[in-house]
Structure 1
């Protein structure tokens, strides 16, 4: 009896200690938010803020995020409102999953409180990017589903919020379809308690339809100007073929522009991102006035040289996932601009707090570089997906759809890899981490939870 009481007291102290670690992470996260407020920005962010301020939208960036941003400008004339919105989504995800673990008496619930301070999530956390918005909106949708999936009836208000978060996450990233078709079945199975092969396939189709219709509706309702964003990928393709000896008609380039591209150090290093070899004005001209010529060149050459094209795209994808021989690339972004937060605005002077957070992330990347490379999270996702399917604890559940969503998202970059930036795999890193923490809590609880479907 005495030994039993001692054991219970020891477990209580251990649990309290772990929860204090989680609390400390939230405090660190809040302090970091204060340090980086109103948020880090790049050209993409500033372009979306410009659209939010003017109410004139283009489809180069998904206009839905700029529209939501325009509403948040009533709270803060700058990036601050959107930064707070993203943090609310992230904190809600962490706290709901922690509360779920506490209710189920899982021992490692504190791991979810660490989500906001993990260096491979903290690295882009302050950047106002659509990648971040999609990850955090979908993360909260997953958290709500996990929390309520054990109940006999899923609350209608919670189900409505889940669908709203799914749609928002879908429309803020133009390539969200590849991830959404696997995420929707997990959400729908959680809500409707139907888990069969037929229902999973049906929900996948439903997710695809909702995503496509949401994108089309957002563009039409906001009257987004057509900008031929596909030109970015087309330009990479035809330039890659040209540099590999294929006879490509390049009448969409001036001789000076062609010379600049051929001698571009960025392109020679990364094999993609040819648009960065030209000025904004030059590339905008290609996407607008000269787009028909670019499109004609792509249609004429790519289908006839598919092996060369496939080789280029495969190498570009390997460059993105950063195999062990390659160092992490563009894995942080902490640049905070001065008002008015527009193109050409100077950067704000870095504070000691900002430097500390930046140092934490960069030191982590030097210590464990694999955590900042997509290939690591691809391996984690594949391993989790297989385990969720084979384990007696998870067999028959829909948890395998979570890592599958991240896996599918990154694999979809095979034909369209735009750069080697880690931001393009942010959803993979986020959902793989969340899935891993769920696995640890359920698997090492020591009992099978049949009510998880």
Structure 2
């Protein structure tokens, strides 16, 4: 049998109790501030699908199904909030216990890192982006924690990790381009080989794409609502603006054409053409009047526009990405859906205090997606030479997948909210902590040359 060095196994019960107390306190604070959770527009749509017995692909049908199963626990937002909050502290708790075998100091700091505003302020908000990020965090942490045990524990943990990785893709299908990196880490948790990852990348991406098609439309029978065409509408608007030529497959009035080409476009969100006045005339005509949304007409118009005006397309996409990474974009959801003139939980002292901290820090780099992308890239660089160790593999796996995920929004992004980069926030915190952990123990000899973690 192969063993971790003795210094890595001797953790006092007081240390474990201290970690447990910090995690429990963090969980209790989360319930105090947020329970029963903040319902957003997107979450409301999903919850209404449950009542209507509808599974659509605009939001993840798997999230709708999951929410319907757990809803009796705390009907409404409560059940999903409890799932998100529990997953959050379970992920950081498992990572802290695993880190304790290497560094008690870092293990004790991890629950405090979990209280950092860019991560913590989203724990009480019902968004699938939050659930997606926590699903992937758990996938990586479970694999890393099990790697300190024997292969009897590691192999089932790897299977669970791959299942959670796949579940994350089913929550956020655009994550399929980043999923192979996380999957490669889960398969080879003690040594992340770039060569094997490269070989795995395309087959894994195709497998995840096929999984989405089979689960969404085969198993669940989800209604096709054509979310991909939101990207096309946004791109058609952007290309029209930069090329100063209408690219939509419809004819506009003179006033509509002037607005479309000059004033409507903003590199922020596609909703400008859908539900925000005065430019909602775009989708009103495309979808309601002419019934083109969801048809091949929009797809063909998009393909033709990209081929004819590639520079306008790139200018539009670059403008969006610049805003997504560096703009002061929407962060916390604070609106009470039942009382639009009020902030949710206005009389809850702890929540109001958190909102004050959030408002103070929102203008800073902490609430810029680009900052967390940069952190993840730095962690990848630091972990590059240590990716043949468990700590380096973990840091490179989570931060590499988050970097690719964020960068994928250059092509598929239709809104620039900070929440879309939430996986980079969690990956930056967890991966950064483990990367430091790896540096602090880099002189510890590793006796095993096997791909599987050592047995205890």
Q: Offset at 1:26?
A: 4.8
Which 4+ runs in 1 deviate beyond 6 A? 279-282, 344-347
Superposition map of 1:71-86 within 5 A: 71-86=69-84
Query: Which residue is equivalent to 2:292?
Result: 290
Give, in whole Å, the separation in 2 of the partners of 1:214 and 1:119.
35
Partner-residue secondary structure (3-state), 2:105: coil
Deviations 1:334-362 (A, max 9, x none): 335459xxxx9986452222211111222
From 356, 362, 366, the equivalent of 1:371 is: 366
Give, in whole Å, the separation in 2 of the partners of 1:30 and 1:98.
17
Q: Does the CA contact (< 8 Å) of 2:386 and 2:393 recur in 1? A: no
Query: Which residue is equivalent to 2:310?
Result: 306
Q: Offset at 1:98?
A: 1.1
Query: Which residue is equivalent to 1:3?
Result: none
Q: Does the CA contact (< 8 Å) of 2:37 and 2:124 recur in 1? A: yes
Give, in whole Å, the separation in 2 of the partners of 1:301 and 1:24.
55
Query: Which residue is equivalent to 2:272?
Result: 274
Give, in whole Å, the separation in 1 of the partners of 2:17 and 2:441.
17
Query: Which residue is equivalent to 1:406?
Result: 402
Q: Offset at 1:213?
A: 2.6
Query: Which residue is equivalent to 2:431?
Result: 435
Work out whether 1:180 is the aligned partner of 2:184: no
Q: Offset at 1:312?
A: 1.3
Give, in whole Å, the separation in 1 of the partners of 2:187 and 2:242.
47
Structure 1 residues without counterparts, runs of 5 or longer: 1-10
Q: Offset at 1:331?
A: 2.1
Partner-residue secondary structure (3-state), 2:173: coil
Aligned in 2, Cα 1:348/1:274: closer, same or farther, shift over 3 Å? Answer: closer
Query: Which residue is equivalent to 1:36?
Result: 34
Q: Which deviates more from structure 2 when the two are superposed, residues 64-73 or residues 399-408?
A: 399-408
Aligned in 2, Cα 1:22/1:225: closer, same or farther, shift over 3 Å? Answer: same
Deviations 1:133-187 (A, max 9, x none): 1110111111111111133415244333222221211110121112211100001
From 439, 443, 452, the equivalent of 1:447 is: 443
Deviations 1:365-416 (A, max 9, x none): 34xx111112222222222212212359959952322211111111111122
Q: Does the CA contact (< 8 Å) of 2:102 and 2:441 recur in 1? A: no
Give, in whole Å, the separation in 1 of the partners of 2:203 and 2:269.
37
Q: Does the CA contact (< 8 Å) of 1:185 and 1:207 recur in 2? A: no
Give, in whole Å, the separation in 1 of the partners of 2:373 and 2:406.
8
Give, in whole Å, the separation in 1 of the partners of 2:191 and 2:365.
38
Give, in whole Å, the separation in 1 of the partners of 2:249 and 2:202.
41
Q: Which deviates more from structure 2 when the two are superposed, residues 207-216 or residues 82-91?
A: 207-216
Give, in whole Å, the separation in 2 of the partners of 1:55 and 1:257.
38
Give, in whole Å, the separation in 2 of the partners of 1:21 and 1:247.
60
Deviations 1:73-105 (A, max 9, x none): 222221111111111111111111111122334
Q: Does the CA contact (< 8 Å) of 1:380 and 1:432 recur in 2? A: yes
Give, in whole Å, the separation in 2 of the partners of 1:163 and 1:93.
16
Superposition map of 1:15-34 within 5 A: 23=21, 26-34=24-32
Deviations 1:399-435 (A, max 9, x none): 3222111111111111222122111111112111110
Work out whether 1:213 is the aligned partner of 2:210: yes
Query: Which residue is equivalent to 1:108?
Result: 106
From 126, 130, 137, the equivalent of 2:128 is: 130
Q: Does the CA contact (< 8 Å) of 2:267 and 2:320 recur in 1? A: no
Query: Which residue is equivalent to 2:351?
Result: 354
Query: Which residue is equivalent to 1:162?
Result: 161
Give, in whole Å, the separation in 2 of the partners of 1:179 and 1:392.
18
Give, in whole Å, the separation in 2 of the partners of 1:86 and 1:271.
26
Q: Offset at 1:211?
A: 1.9
From 375, 379, 389, the equivalent of 1:380 is: 375
Q: Which deviates more from structure 2 when the two are superposed, residues 113-122 or residues 424-433?
A: 113-122
Q: Does the CA contact (< 8 Å) of 1:19 and 1:110 recur in 2? A: no
Aligned in 2, Cα 1:24/1:104: closer, same or farther, shift over 3 Å? Answer: closer
Q: Does the CA contact (< 8 Å) of 1:57 and 1:223 recur in 2? A: yes
Q: May I ask how many residue pairs the two structures share in their alignment?
A: 427
TM-score by length of 2: 0.83
Q: Offset at 1:32?
A: 3.2
